Amino acid sequence: MLAARFGADCLETIMPPRKEINSPSGLVQQIQERVQIDIKVMIRPHSCHFFCDKENIATMLQDTAKFRHLSVPDS
Helix-strand-coil percent breakdown of the chain, rounded to 5? 45, 15, 40
pLDDT of residue 54: 92
How far apart are the C-alpha atoms of 60 and 52, rounded to whole Å? 10
Spatial distance between the Cα atoms of 67 and 61, rounded to a whole number of angstroms: 10
User: Nearest CA to 41 among 30, 55, 51, 52?
Assistant: 30
pTM for this predicted structure: 0.61
Q: How many residues does the chain have?
A: 75
**How far, in whole angstroms, is CA 58 from its chain's centroid?**
16
Per-residue pLDDT of the chain (75 residues; tens, 9 = 90+): 788 888 888 888 776 555 544 566 777 888 888 888 888 887 877 777 778 889 888 988 888 888 888 777 665
